[in-house]
Amino acid sequence: MTHFRPTTFIAIAALVIGCAPRDEHPGGDGVTISEQGGRAVFDVDGQRVVIDVPPGAVEQPTTFSASLSQVTAPGILGPVFELGPSGLRFERPVIVYLPSPDDGAGAVLLKHRLVTKPSGGAWERLSPKTSPPDMVAGVAMHFSLFGVVADPESIGRIGPETGTEFDAGSVTLTTSRTVDVRSMTVAEGGLQFLLRSAEC
């Protein structure tokens, strides 16, 4: 029997979430931030959610919230979060940080991007922001549903090739012996490949 050992090489930079515009407000049932701005930090079922609100983003003191949503959608990696007040639109963009998907189901193989779904609208990708390795950040102009998907820029394809190491985008597959890889695709659902032993 042939055994294949996939290996993923991920460059992790030591990054820190940028300084909050004002004070950091640890979240409970809700965090009130005034027009002076601030940072709301929530523990949502053991997962850290951070919202950076710059000065002028809201016109009056506003109570922010974060919770898990029951909404599901194809391509979403991990849970969907509902940030509130739902439907709130900002005068200036805020930065939302959600936890990166864990390494189950191949999610860690990919770069990630935040997506949001306005009420009655379709899912849309947010412009990315620098974030620490365990979080994914994006720029938001309104609050509703938020989730994490694979970044299309990290999707790669190869094949056919023969060897013991194969690179496709952000993923490297390493095998213990020479094989023929007929196809390998790194996509939103994880890593898929079709191969056979070159010794057959």
| The pLDDT value given to residue 32 | 93
Quick: pLDDT tens for 100-123: 886 443 434 457 889 998 877 888
- Is 30 in the same domain as 128? yes
Q: Predicted confidence band at 137 (pLDDT cuts at 50, 70, 90)?
A: very high
Quick: pLDDT tens for 143-191: 999 999 877 655 555 567 777 776 665 566 677 788 777 666 655 445 5
| The pLDDT value given to residue 38 | 94
| The pLDDT value given to residue 84 | 93
pLDDT of residue 10 exceeding 80: no
CB 22 within 8 A of CB 61: no
pLDDT of residue 139 exceeding 90: yes
**Vertex 149: Cα angle to 147 and 154 (nearest 5):** 155
Rounded-to-integer distance, Cα 47 and Cα 168, Å? 30
In a domain, 2, yes or no: no
In a domain, 3, yes or no: no
Distant-in-sequence, close-in-space partners of 94: CB < 8 Å, separation ≥ 6: 51, 52, 53, 54, 57, 139, 140, 141
- Is 64 in the same domain as 143? yes
What does the H/E/C string look like for the chain? CCCEEECCCCCCCCCCCCCCCCCEEECCCCEEECCCCEEEEEEECCEEEEEEECCCCCCCCEEEEEEEECCCCCCCCCCEEEEECCCCEEEEEEEEEEECCCCHHHHHHCCEEEEEECCCCCCEECCEECCCCCEEEEEEEECCEEEEEECHHHCEEECCEEEEEEEECCEEEEEEEEEEEEEEEEECCEEEEEEEECCC
- Is 146 in the same domain as 161? no
Percent of the chain with pLDDT over 70: 62
In a domain, 10, yes or no: no
In a domain, 4, yes or no: no
CB 84 within 8 A of CB 65: yes
Q: How many independent structural domains does the chain possess?
A: 2
In a domain, 188, yes or no: yes
Among candidate residues 6, 4, 16, the one with its CA nearest the CA of residue 129: 16
- Is 102 in the same domain as 182? no
In a domain, 9, yes or no: no
Tokens of 46: 């053991």
Task: Give residue 127's identity as a one-letter amino acid code.
Answer: S
The answer, as to whether pTM is greater than 0.85, is no
**Domain assignment of residue 171, given as a range:** 155-197
Looking up residue 67, the CATH number of its domain turns out to be 2.60.220.30
In a domain, 176, yes or no: yes
| The pLDDT value given to residue 162 | 79
Rounded-to-integer distance, Cα 92 and Cα 143, Å? 13
